[in-house]
Structure 1
Amino acid sequence: MRPCASRYFDAGASAACAPAFRILKNARAMPTGNPHAARHPLSVPALHQSMSLFKTTLSITALALFSLNSGLHAQDAAVTRGQTVYMQVCFACHQPTGLGLPGMFPPLAGSDWTAAKKPDRMIRMVLHGLTGPITINGKPFATPAPLMPPQGSVLSDTQIADVLSYVRDAFGNKASAVTPDEVKAVREAEKARAAMWTEAELQKIPVE
């Protein structure tokens, strides 16, 4: 799992506040028109101007960091929900470790399919299922039964996005999260489809 959102927030705060502190540091060099400025390096007008800029910068920084932190918390929540869906629907085949079963059920951990830049193939597999053999990281997986049953009629767009966000973040994977809008778009584009997907068909779907 990725580090919690608060760690991103702390790191972002340190970097984002730097300009504000530079404003105060540089205030001593501001021209004031006061011939006695050398005796009083930080004059009252310069101080007021510096504090005004400082407060404005901090306000903008706080808003930006709040938005960043909120987004990261939302992503963390989606991954947590996705883990629940995974343990309800996926773990029997793919196993709690994400390693699957050799020759039968492919791994999600370190999978070139799972870690693809775009999740379009994975979304289609969850929606409509997969039948026939598939090769993961150069290793074939095949069983007499379909490898993966369709879940599109059981799971909502949000649930599919959550579980895919989870598997793309768990088991050592580092792929981006999936949004409900992405799932919705694929569901709409493939609404006329009734058959399960095959590997050959999915390979035609771009993921870069």
Structure 2
Amino acid sequence: MNKIENFEDILYRESKLAFTKIIQDHGCELYVIGFYFTGSYSLLPMFNTLSDLKKVFAEEYDNEDDDFLFAKWNVSDFPSLEMYSEYFNDTEEACYEFDDIDYTASSEQVDDQWEQWLNVLEKVLIRLDSDGLFSKGINRNKITLAILAYDEEETVQFERIKRINPPAALKYIQSDFETMINNRNEMEKLVMDEYERIQQIQ
């Protein structure tokens, strides 16, 4: 068994225990569950509840619609991000096996390794979903399985979410991501237009 296969096996086993406990503790309050991949050879169990979302939005945002979507999908605003990490001790050790980073690797090799990690996280969530884990005591279509990776745009996130969730679940969140993607595109266009304006003046 190679390092990736060993990592997947350990992550599957520990995630099954952790996510079972999360569902037992938070039940129908959950709207998202999965992993946050930091990109530095580490990951965290990731979930959020409707109650925590409303609380964070009320306390830290300005009640704008766009702000609500940011609070809803911005991992750094999830109060629960560090919770249940104790279930992932063996996973953490398996992560350390990949810490021997080859600093001479090309950008293509680094990108390939990044994709390997994300593919494992996808496979684990799909396996757990096939086991029926995310249908025990909760409505599967009201919960989004997600892998939210560090510094990743919404377009990429949503493509992954579409691969690991049934169509009936996607209908609840599609407008969220379409709005965020459009907002980002508009912002980038404004920045580019301003840059071109400045270049013409100089």
User: Which structure is higher in strand share?
Assistant: 2
In the superposition, the TM-score normalised over structure 1's length comes to: 0.26
Larger RCO, structures 1/2 (Cα 8 Å, 6+ apart): 2
For the pair shown, which has the larger CA radius of gyration, 1 or 2?
A: 1
